[in-house]
């Protein structure tokens, strides 16, 4: 019966609050710019860099390591810039008057996109060219090693919201610039230096604010616990600084190249709402997992929700998980057996409404052999199975 099931999205009582749309950013731009005009506080974009390469996600499944295609960064320069013009024009329209945009890029496309942003946002609305410097990766002997990305920071207007105090860090006990270390009458440590006939004093608990060179945010290493397997994943610390400085709790943060789901993950942790899109089913799977991990299993609820995932064309696959269903008076028990090696990344049981929206009663991430989901004993229960590539199948039981 699963062939007749049409699902257009998922709705959750946990995760978020936010919305993920499966689709290409340039294709969704017109719809989003109309629906969200003037409503987005912050846009962070980490698009393909124009490398000409293809990228994958590396995941462990039992004793195996899976390499799953994530996206191809193979557009010609002309097509790439046309795509980015569509996306950036939509982002400008979506931003609130006090909103801002951060475009994360590298040396390949930075010159072209800087000129494009000057055109779309206005050169007067340029804020910073941020250099994110890191130490990971190999070293070149043919030229100076390329160890930084560029983040172009633009405002929508002079009314921009920007809170540098939110990202300050305590000066600390380290002595700087030949300053003299002293202790005042209250026991507070301070440093002082005399210059131009004046004495400048700085306490160790006063904040130091970041400049436009960020060399204090580490690139993710291979064994970093944040790692999802997504090859171009950015660290949460990077997004934390951006989101804290350019949004307030409750604001809407947008990322149209969601990738590993870092923007949405940090937005949720900081009490913001997210709007995310990506063309890859793998990105959808990673965002779902990062939003739901650590959450308690949901129970049947009355329509309130915290996260939505929508897809006009669901990524269907030949997924045939071995499911056994037993029922008693109070509950239905869905048992999954992956003895045949059909490993899943996600398994859920719930209801499917007349609009094709799936609401889970219970779910589990990375189900193992003999995993059992216990759901309310409704006459019809919809079971959703998702593999590591984000491909889906539905079963009515």
Q: How confident is the model at residue 368 (pLDDT cuts 50, 70, 90)?
A: confident
In the predicted model, is pLDDT for residue 215 greater than 90? yes
Q: Respond yes or no on whether the N-terminal peptide bond of residue 17 is cis (omega within 30° of 0).
A: yes
Band (pLDDT 50/70/90 cuts) for residue 320 is confident
Split at pLDDT 50, 70, 90, the class of 108 is: very high
Q: Give the model's confidence band at 169: pLDDT under 50 very low, under 70 low, under 90 confident, else very high.
A: confident
- Which residue from 286, 235, 278 is spatially nearest to 256, judged by alpha carbons? 278
Mean pLDDT of all residues belonging to the chain:
90
- Which pLDDT band, with edges at 50, 70 and 90, does 302 fall under? very low
Q: How confident is the model at residue 62 (pLDDT cuts 50, 70, 90)?
A: low
Beta pairing, strands 371-376 & 331-337? antiparallel
Rg (CA), the chain: 24
Is the torsion defined by CA of 208, 157, 37, 44 positive or negative? negative
pLDDT value for 298? 47
Closest CA relative to residue 383, chosen from 353, 356, 361: 361
Who has greater pLDDT, 42 or 186?
42
The dihedral over CA atoms of 304, 309, 311, 316, expressed in degrees to the nearest 10, equals: -110
pLDDT at 283: 96
Tell me which DSSP letter residue 295 carries.
P
- Partnered with residue 208 across adjacent β-strands are 169
Coil, helix or strand at residue 148: strand
C-alpha dihedral over 170, 175, 212, 234, to 10 degrees? -60
As a whole-number percent, the residues of the chain with pLDDT over 70 amount to 93
């Amino acid at each position: 019966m699963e062939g007749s099931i049409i699902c257009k999205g998922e709705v959750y009582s946990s995760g978020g609050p936010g919305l993920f749309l499966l689709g290409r950013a340039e294709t969704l731009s017109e719809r989003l710019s109309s629906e969200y005009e003037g409503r987005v506080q912050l846009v962070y974009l980490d698009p393909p860099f124009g490398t000409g390469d293809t990228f994958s996600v590396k995941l462990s499944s039992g004793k195996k390591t899976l390499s799953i295609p994530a996206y191809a960064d193979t557009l010609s320069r002309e097509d790439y810039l046309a795509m980015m013009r569509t996306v950036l024009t939509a982002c400008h329209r979506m931003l609130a008057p006090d909103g801002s945009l951060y475009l994360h890029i590298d040396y390949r496309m930075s010159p072209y996109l800087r000129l494009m942003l000057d055109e779309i946002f206005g050169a007067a609305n340029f804020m910073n060219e941020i250099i994110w410097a890191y130490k990971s990766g190999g070293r070149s002997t043919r030229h100076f090693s390329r160890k930084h990305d560029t983040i172009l920071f633009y405002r929508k207007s002079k009314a921009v919201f920007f809170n540098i105090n939110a990202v300050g860090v305590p000066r600390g006990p380290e002595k700087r610039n030949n300053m003299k270390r002293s202790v005042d009458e209250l026991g507070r440590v301070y440093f002082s230096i005399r210059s131009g006939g004046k004495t400048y004093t700085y306490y160790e608990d006063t904040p130091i604010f970041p400049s436009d060179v960020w060399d204090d945010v580490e690139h993710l290493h291979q064994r970093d616990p944040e790692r999802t397997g997504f090859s171009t994943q950015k660290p949460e610390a990077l997004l934390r600084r951006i989101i804290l400085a350019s949004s307030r709790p409750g604001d809407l943060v947008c990322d149209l190249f969601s990738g590993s789901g870092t923007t949405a993950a940090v937005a949720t942790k900081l009490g913001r709402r997210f709007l995310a899109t990506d063309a890859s089913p793998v990105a959808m799977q990673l965002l779902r997992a990062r939003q739901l991990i650590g959450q308690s299993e949901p129970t049947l609820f009355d329509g309130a929700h915290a996260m939505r995932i929508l897809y006009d064309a669901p990524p269907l696959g030949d997924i045939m998980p071995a499911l056994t269903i037993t029922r008693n008076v109070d509950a239905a028990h869905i048992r999954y057996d992956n003895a045949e090696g059909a490993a899943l990344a996600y398994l859920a049981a719930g209801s499917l409404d007349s609009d094709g929206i799936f609401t889970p009663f219970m779910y589990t991430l990375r189900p193992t052999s003999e995993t059992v989901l216990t759901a309310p004993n409704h006459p019809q229960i919809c079971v959703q199975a998702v593999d590591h590539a984000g491909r889906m199948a539905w079963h009515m039981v």
